[in-house]
Amino acid sequence: MSTRSVQVPTPDGTADAVVASPDDGERHPGVLLYPDVIGPRPVIHEMAERLASHGYHVLVPNLFYRHGPAPVVEVPDLTVPENREAFFREALPLLHEHTVERALADAGAYLDFLAARPEVRPGPVGTVGYCFGAVLAVRTAAARPGQVAAAAGFHPGSLVTDAPDSPHRLASDIAAELYFGFAEHDDGMKPEDIARWDDAMDEAGVTCASEVYPGTVHGFTMADTSAFSPSGLDRHWKDLVPLLDRNLTTD
């Protein structure tokens, strides 16, 4: 495996990022991996490397690059409740400043960067996101329906809101196959929200699978937090990789 730091030009500057890919000299389909609000860090890099081991060229951007290189907020031991509270007091303002307009401008830059890399096979790409990164994966799929063929999200942020630009209202713009793994216990996406999400996808004719992972809480894929579920992470791989394989790989 090959993992290295890169710089991605964007309309607002330069985003620091990491790419992971098989070190075999071949070209592989591109995948844009959106991290959670905690941002790029060792556990995210490890996840990118594991995904790359399945034959993908994975880009992980620092979503808050406008405020500096990652880590924009130093990441403490997030298994300690007191540390979590202090961290999110600093991190949440960054999230609130990451507007839809910024997200879409960045998404175009990230996908253009992937498409231009000699290691990336021409053709469809995938997006995957965690927490609020899952919302960005949806927005990216809707913004680039001719390019994004698969999108997945795990313990996503709010996909259903009353806002005019709520992610669930983008269904008619999506051509990708979608997969979402929801936490059983998550105030951000309650059962009624998941039902509204599914109804919106069904009405628009979007191919979308939604599954609730029993015994999990928001953040269950993240091994460096108290929310971590080893079984949830393992299942996430079993659901994610086939989605990408059937949409991004060709004979």
- Tokens in use for 176? 């990708």
For residue 102, the one-letter residue type is R
The pLDDT assigned to 158 comes to 96
Number of neighbours of residue 212 by Cβ within 10 angstroms: 15
- Report whether pLDDT(173) > 90: yes
Ordered domains of the chain (ranges, CATH) = 2-248 (3.40.50.1820)
Helix (H/G/I), strand (E/B), else coil: 28: strand
Smallest CA-to-CA distance from 15 within 40, 36, 38, 37 is with 40
pTM for the whole thing? 0.98
* Per-residue model confidence as pLDDT tens digits over 119-135: 999 999 999 999 999 99
How many angstroms separate the Cα of 214 from the Cα of each of 2, 143, 147, 184?
A: 35, 32, 33, 5
SS3 (DSSP) at 209:
strand
Dist CA 192 CA 197 (whole Å): 9
Q: What CA–CA distances, in Å, run from 204 to 123, 134, 150, 199?
A: 24, 19, 16, 9
DSSP 120-166: BPSS-EEEEEETHHHHHHHHHHHH-TTTEEEEEEES-S-S--SSTT-
Percent above pLDDT 70 for the chain: 99
In sequence order, which ranges of 14-158 are alpha helices (DSSP H)? Answer: 42-52, 81-97, 100-116, 132-143
Cis check: omega of the bond before 118, within 30 degrees of 0: no
| 27 φ/ψ angles, rounded to the nearest 5 degrees | -95, 140
Instruction: Quote the tokens at residue 243.
Output: 């989605």
Beta bridge partners of 105: none
- Is residue 230 over pLDDT 80? yes
* pLDDT at residue 39 in the model: 97
Please give the structure tokens belonging to residue 28.
């592989």
Backbone angles phi, psi at 159, to 5 degrees: -90, -15
Which tens digit of pLDDT belongs to each residue from 53-104? 999 999 999 999 999 999 999 999 999 988 999 999 999 999 999 999 999 9
The pLDDT value given to residue 250: 65
Model confidence over 13-33: pLDDT tens digits? 999 999 999 999 999 999 999
Model pLDDT for residues 189-219, shown as the tens digit of each residue: 999 999 999 999 999 999 999 999 999 999 9
Return mean pLDDT, the chain.
97
